[in-house]
Amino acid sequence: MKKLAVILLILALTASFLFSCSADTSATVLRYGTSEVTENMYTYWIATYKTYFLNALGGTDTEKYLTSKISVPDENGIDTEMTVAEYIDARIAEIINSNCISLYLFDAYKLELPKSVVSAVNTAINTEIENAGGRKALNEALAPIGLNVDTLREMYLADERISYLYTYLYGDDTVGSTGAEPISTEQYNAFYEKNYVCVRHIYIRTADKNVLNSKGEPTYDKNGNVITEELTAEEAAAKLALCDDLMARLKNGEDFLALEEKYSEDAGRHTLKDGYIISRSTALPDAFISAAFDMKIGELRRVDASYATHIMIRCALPELGWNNSANSVLLGDFKEYVKSDVYAKKIAPMLEKIEYDHDLMAKHTVMNTPITAY
């Protein structure tokens, strides 16, 4: 089964469409205070986020795929089996709930979008009209998901509102920008220590090797990819024997860093001097991630994959590692993850007070809502 990570950033980056119901007369599906999500907007969100998640998962909008089973780990790494449709439905529900609260907060803080942002949205809508072949053609394209040109414009403006709300609350990457509710170093550290571990590894390729030129340098194809070839049975056996030898030497007290420098085939070891700082959603093999979180600091472990062997040791997290640019490759969106987490905790009590029309909700699910290009 394909294992999916529940990534906090998904909510931060995709919970981005809000709707002001004053321009819409359809029934209300959910409400918080003066903020409402109407039926056609609810359908639109399902279509939009369904499209997003299918693209992210590499899946198709078919009954066969949507009813297939997947294993989804929670924040503690405990797996729950569900269908793809159930997984996407649950994520979309979280996003729409967040949207409803976000719209309320945007108004409660008396925020307004800059004129330049509104102008940019109008330009984007005009571009959509032109690309569709006219206003009538765009309305026809939007009709299956319950929208027209005017409500699409409202959605684009809402996208900007959620971004503006986040900037208002937490600032942005501009030097000196802190926001109305700045996130402290202590909050960043707490998230870092809860959700990340650090490991080093000696990486031994056991399935293939680079094809070298006469100078002993790697060769590349026309697309810039390193050309490789399979190891012979004798070469593969030698690599596995090397792994056995390295494990024995490490257990006998030899220095890990010295052996890593001499034998590891991972070029990244020279860039990532602190080791690999990873979360459960880092794009590394499942076995590597599971071992990293299962190990204790100082523990040594061997993970054999089809392509290579990882001889791993868990290290202490580098202090303030999230604030070190050298770790940006692994932690590039770390601050957005933290913003999402802080925001989720902020609105949690409000989510409990949302009012729902469950009959209308039951009419619109991932299984019966089409995907959309808008």
Instruction: Report the C-alpha gap between 66 and 334 in whole angstroms.
Output: 30
pTM of the model: 0.77
pLDDT score for 181: 94
- Give SS3 for 199: strand
The answer to whether the beta carbons of residues 280 and 289 sit under 8 Å apart is yes
- 10 Å CB burial of residue 212 (0-12, 13-18, 19+) is exposed
CA pair distance 268, 281, nearest whole angstrom: 19
- Rounded distance between C-alpha atoms, residue 120 and residue 11, angstroms: 24
Cβ neighbour number for residue 87 with a 10 Å cutoff = 21
Instruction: Give the list of residues 6+ apart from residue 5 with CB closer than 8 angstroms, or none.
Output: 73, 280, 281
Predicted local confidence at residue 24, as pLDDT: 41
Concatenate the DSSP letters of all residues of 5-43 into one string.
Answer: ---HHHHHHH------GGG--SPEEEEETTEEEEHHHHH
Closest CA to 368 of 6, 55, 43: 43
pLDDT tens string, the chain, 374 residues long: the values are 333 333 334 343 333 333 333 334 479 999 999 999 988 889 888 999 999 999 999 999 999 999 999 888 776 667 789 999 999 999 999 999 999 999 999 999 999 999 999 999 999 999 999 999 999 999 999 998 888 999 899 988 988 998 899 999 998 876 566 889 999 999 999 999 999 999 999 999 999 999 988 888 889 988 888 899 999 999 999 999 999 999 999 999 999 999 999 999 997 788 888 899 999 888 888 889 999 999 999 999 999 988 999 999 999 999 999 988 888 888 888 988 999 999 999 999 999 999 999 999 999 999 999 998 88
- Kindly report the number of other CB atoms within 10 A of residue 190's CB atom: 13
Q: What is the pLDDT of residue 54?
A: 95
Q: What span, in angstroms and rounded, lies between the C-alpha atoms of 193 and 2?
A: 27
What are the φ/ψ torsions at residue 196 (nearest 5 degrees)? Answer: -130, 150
pLDDT value for 1: 35
Taken as a whole, the chain contains a residue count of 374
pLDDT value at residue 295: 95
Are the C-beta atoms of 68 and 84 separated by less than 8 Å?
Answer: yes
DSSP label at 200?
E
Output the CA torsion 199→205→210→215 (10° steps).
80
- Sketch out the chain's domains with CATH numbers: 8-182+334-363 (1.10.4030), 197-316 (3.10.50.40)
Amino acid 76: pLDDT: 65
User: How far is 354 from 342, CA to CA, in rounded Å?
Assistant: 20
Tokens of 372: 């959309």
Q: Is 49 helix (H, G, I), strand (E, B) or coil?
A: helix
Q: What is the pLDDT of residue 349?
A: 96
Q: Which residues pair with 30 in a beta bridge?
A: 37, 356
